[in-house]
Structure 1
């Protein structure tokens, strides 16, 4: 405790609140043979191993991550190949278009070396990695990043310090080497370089000034046509900007739009399971249901992965303003490691609550 104070705690309470810590303490201090630990320590260790094994098994099995019901290719060369396969299977060019757009964006940051040109002395070879994502408007996004973990921390902000090798998505430049001459995502100096450049542009060219309370909030005085004065604001979050003013339109997605899309995806996923969302639901959890007392069988790995996706959807809905079920979502999220059938159906029950109260959005 604070101040070096000590306090006695009932062993049964400690076992329930901190089972792993108490088990490690008992093993380290050779208390396993004591009556209070004789059966409990082996049981707890066995239970811990079962949970870890199940989590690792699902992590290996989860080879097709999805977002909004759309398969997202993994990072690296295999992900690029999978992106092309998905376009071929679906008869679309979404991922290919995203890759072409990203390559055009990053090429100005590279100086392609000729085949007979030697790598300059002092340069370090690193790789580029392509990652994929799906935006909220279902636009496919590709991002080519430098493997900054393969470089040493720079003494100062510098761009032309790394040599990288191009890959398949670079078309005619595949297999060639290039020198980075501008900042790209992934380098250890990229964040500072972006912030410095952004600050210079906002201050020198756009005449914005940072707010004293938050250096990522910029403002400048403006005047409307009727003569009234106001401030235009720019909010910076990592590499994204939000403009607030009379002449700007901001695209956003609220809880209602996100919920409608989430319900569509969930209904599609549970249809093969012969499950449906209840139409009339009046309580946030099934009547009398307590997640901590659930003794139904554990669900299989595929359903457990889907359960984690459901929890992710519910957590994001809470972030968007649906705080009426925040406590219930928090309770169910604590069972991500080993969810049971009851937990899975409770998550679907909460989504049914959302559907029943679709018009009640903050």
Structure 2
């Protein structure tokens, strides 16, 4: 136990007041110091990332919009075809030529529009588009446009100007270009911290919805029950890599 779960055992011994017993006297201080060093490094990395994020977004504007019927009206600019599967019913086996853009194609009218505006698709994530720019004070930075199906989010000193450029080609839902309140399930808010205006992202709404979903699913389950006291999401003895249960069916796969 001491080797497999050193931190848990140390915490347990301290909570029970047996940390001075021969079995723990030398061992617990060593593990407590090790934990403090580990947490110190984690916190240091966290604040490095937070400070960098604050620096990058400081002074930049965020604007978003939804493209109306983005992939229903846009013509495909690639030559694509598909062989119909069983989901096509009587048409199964036939060859179809794709005439309208499908989400997931490497190119689309939206991609072409962004390229015309000087953006390049990121190698790491093709849905992240970027363009080099310079702030009024001479600082160089990148303008980012994030695309997910019909959701467009722009991060720039002149975000609305970029969105208006896209809007000249695509019609936005209700003609709206506005600061985002949420994006892909995350809550976005503009706040002031230490005199700096910045954007924050919270997963609160997503987590609330996920917990509600789990509760509803397990409410009438004869097999699973929600524990009344659960200090952690998983027990300390859990070994997911040793899971030998059968694979999920289609319904459970979709749920998870």
* TM-score of the pair, normalised by structure 1: 0.26
Structure with greater helix percent: 1
By percentage of residues, which structure has more strand? Answer: 2
Greater relative contact order (Cα 8 A, min sep 6): structure 1 or 2? Answer: 2
